[in-house]
Chain A
Amino acid sequence: MTSSSSPSSLLFVIVGSNEPLFEVDLQASSQPISDAATRQSYFVLHSALDLVERSASNQMYLKIVDKVNQQQVSTFLTAGNIKLMLLHNVHQNKSEEAIRQFFQDVYELYVKFSMNPFYAYDTPIISEAFDTRVRALGRKYLS
């Protein structure tokens, strides 16, 4: 893969008010992604954050908020301003409906998880059960 082509990646990140709370690579491929590709993916995701902050819509699902080269960032904003963000590639052709379903199911998972009185809101999520289920949702809707 030359350095000019954009990496094919499917990255899902949950971002709180100060820091990322959860990250997972939903790509099913077994080939390891190069370091440069991963850094670029994170950069695109985080620069899209600025655009999310400025959106005034009262809808939670914000669809595609940023497009860089071939990469697109879709975002879902919860009531507490927690951002669920998905980085995907144009070539992957994920339908908006599939992404919406994915976000809605992860949102439900997130709300349930935050009901745990031992989980401090807006802190990193380190539950294995949560991680497994998000990956399962990724396989169900996005592959």
Chain B
Amino acid sequence: MSQFLSNSTILDRPVGRSQRSAEQNVSLSAFSYLFSEMVQYHQNRVDSVSALEHRLEAAGYGVGLKVLELLAYRARDYTRQTKLMNMLQFVSTTAWKALFGKAADSLEKSIDHADEFMIVDYAPITSTSVSVPADLGGLSVDAYISGIIAGMLQGAGFPARVTAHTVEEGDRKKAVFLVKFSASVMSRDATIIG
């Protein structure tokens, strides 16, 4: 029979006073290692690129839901986002800073479709140390980050389809997360005043 030396549970641990507490940071190499193991784990269990991306998205989804609650709590102002643009700002600045150490490089609105937005990151940590062989075609492991974004938006009440794309820009590549909101979100947002 094991002896439990302490009675403290997760409910006793501090959850982070500010958004800049350095002790919360994890080394990039630790993350890259874990992430690479996770990708390999899923890769061995699927037989198509889209299934692999799907699994990575599902893995990120759970993270997104919880990160949303954590970051909203850490803001300590007991408010939640009800307007679309504010929620997107929250994701591309606050959430990005907390997760990746810096804000997203840009947040853009699509000209062709009113319900599509793009979050751009020039060096997403999930793919900077990943090389995709030719036979895996259009695989983007950034699907994990798409899942995180989708989880955050879904949790906050803005269901959306999020996909990750790698786009060439001059001589460098950038990751573009395309966010397409459901019709219900767009119509509801039109009615909210403010």
Residues of chain A at the chain B interface (Cβ within 8 Å): 56-61, 77-82, 104, 107-116, 120-122, 127, 129-130, 133
Q: Does B68 contact A (CB under 8 A)?
A: yes
Please tell me the number of chain B residues within 8 Å of chain A, measured between CB atoms: 24
Residues of chain B at the chain A interface (Cβ within 8 Å): 9-11, 13, 15, 62, 65-66, 68-73, 78-83, 155-157, 192
Closest 4 CB pairs of A and B: A79-B72, A80-B155, A111-B73, A121-B65
Please determine whether B157 and A129 come into contact, CB atoms closer than 8 angstroms.
no
Q: State A122–B69 Cα separation when bound (angstroms).
A: 12
CB < 8 Å neighbour of B80 from A78, A111, A116, A133: A78
CB < 8 Å neighbour of A111 from B70, B82, B157: B70
Please determine whether A78 and B72 come into contact, CB atoms closer than 8 angstroms.
yes
User: Inside 8 A of B65's CB, which chain A residues have their CB?
Assistant: 80, 121-122
Q: State A81–B68 Cα separation when bound (angstroms).
A: 10
28 contacting pairs across A/B (C-beta < 8 A): A56-B82, A58-B79, A59-B79, A59-B80, A60-B79, A78-B80, A79-B68, A79-B69, A79-B73, A79-B80, A79-B81, A79-B155, A79-B156, A80-B68, A80-B69, A81-B155, A107-B78, A108-B73, A110-B69, A111-B69, A111-B70, A111-B73, A112-B11, A112-B13, A112-B15, A114-B66, A114-B69, A115-B10
Q: Nearest Cβ in chain B — how far from A104, in angstroms?
A: 7
Q: Nearest Cβ in chain B — how far from A60, in angstroms?
A: 4
Q: State A78–B74 Cα separation when bound (angstroms).
A: 12
Q: State A127–B80 Cα separation when bound (angstroms).
A: 27
Please determine whether A60 and B80 come into contact, CB atoms closer than 8 angstroms.
yes
> Given A56-B192, A78-B72, A129–B11 Cβ distance below 8 Å?
yes
Q: State A49–B156 Cα separation when bound (angstroms).
A: 17
Q: State A78–B156 Cα separation when bound (angstroms).
A: 9
Please determine whether B62 and A129 come into contact, CB atoms closer than 8 angstroms.
no
User: Inside 8 A of B156's CB, which chain A residues have their CB?
Assistant: 79-81
User: Inside 8 A of A108's CB, which chain B residues have their CB?
Assistant: 15, 73
Please determine whether A60 and B11 come into contact, CB atoms closer than 8 angstroms.
no
> Given A81-B156, A113-B10, A104–B78 Cβ distance below 8 Å?
yes
A60-B78, A115-B66 given; 4 more Cβ-contact pairs under 8 Å:
A59-B78, A79-B68, A79-B81, A115-B70
User: Inside 8 A of A114's CB, which chain B residues have their CB?
Assistant: 66, 69
